[in-house]
Structure 1
Amino acid sequence: MDNYYSWNAWMQQMMEQMKEQQKIIDQLTQKIEKLQSSDQRKTVIEKIEYHFDQLKIETLEGTLQIGLSPQGIAESEIEDLYKGQTNDHHLNNLMTSHVPNHIDEYVRIHSLPLSSEHREKIISDINKQLPERFQQYQRQHPDLDVHDIVDRLSKEVQSSVIQYLNNYKREDTP
């Protein structure tokens, strides 16, 4: 009989725990229903002010269009925006990659001693001229696409680098 009472007591204890848990479940269900049915205040953000001058931007990539909507701008104007960004990307690639590579290649092939300061000065000087040259190509050759203009500029830069460094090499050697 002792076994019967311990089994019965355990069952009674389990029933009490189940009743407590059911009570908690019912309370939580009521709270959820109350939260769902009540009119909750919604947060409305009316105006966001951007203070870009207070941001530190180390790398900026991609497309940012603030205040533009497809309904507010003609399709051709949107394409012009992307063309400008594409032009900037290709021109930036020319300035950061091709120009230094042309100089480094010439220096390597001709074993020309060139200080890093002089190299940076050449790169800087060429890069200052590239945006204007790019626009000049666009005005003179509207039929050319961005890639063709960049290719022509790259060849022009290569030729200019060769000419400049040839003169520099002659002046440097006695």
Structure 2
Amino acid sequence: MNTEFYQYVKKLHLYVEHQSRKTARLEKMVLELQQEIAALKERPPVQIGNIEYKFDQLKVETLEGTLNIGLNPSDLDGIEDFSVDQKSVNVPIPPKQLFKRTIELETALNQYLESDLENIYRGAQTDLGISVDDSYFEFIKNDIKKQLSGRVAQHLQEQSSSERGTELSPQMNEKVIDLLKQEIQNGVFLFLKNLPDNVKEGRS
């Protein structure tokens, strides 16, 4: 085993370990979201009679009826910013809504991978002037799929934060998909670019 190949195997091993840790974090995130959704479903409705709230310029009067708000005092820790004077409220996306939208966008992006990833993979090789064994294609494809859920959720949170709201609009969907398509293209290009030279030339 020559030194260059040994270094390549070592780097690949470290890369796989890094991706395994990242996958574990994403699985933990999905589990936490599922637990939060289950907790919300079990939460009893809140009965509200005539209540008057006055927070400086914000005034809500005479709330009557049964509300499933999903906000208990312990949930207030999740509020990043609440400024009445600026008339802006920045709160996290409700877990159930975030999970549902993440699944929808992940499905759309998986379809994109099936239809476009091979062309992206071959196009990157053409741009780099290299030829790489096709076994790397499945490796890249599987690795991207493992990261999709976490990346989608992160982008949804960021877009919601920038628009100062908890509603996920169709326009936000399109923006997140476009951002992730660009990330996929850049990721494939950089992965191939940083392969050892003997691999780039198609030698085993």
TM-score (norm 2): 0.39
Instruction: Report the structure, 1 or 2, having the larger strand content.
Output: 2
Instruction: State the TM-score, normalizing by the size of structure 1.
Output: 0.45
Structure (1 or 2) with the greater helix fraction: 1
User: Which structure is larger by alpha-carbon Rg, 1 or 2?
Assistant: 1
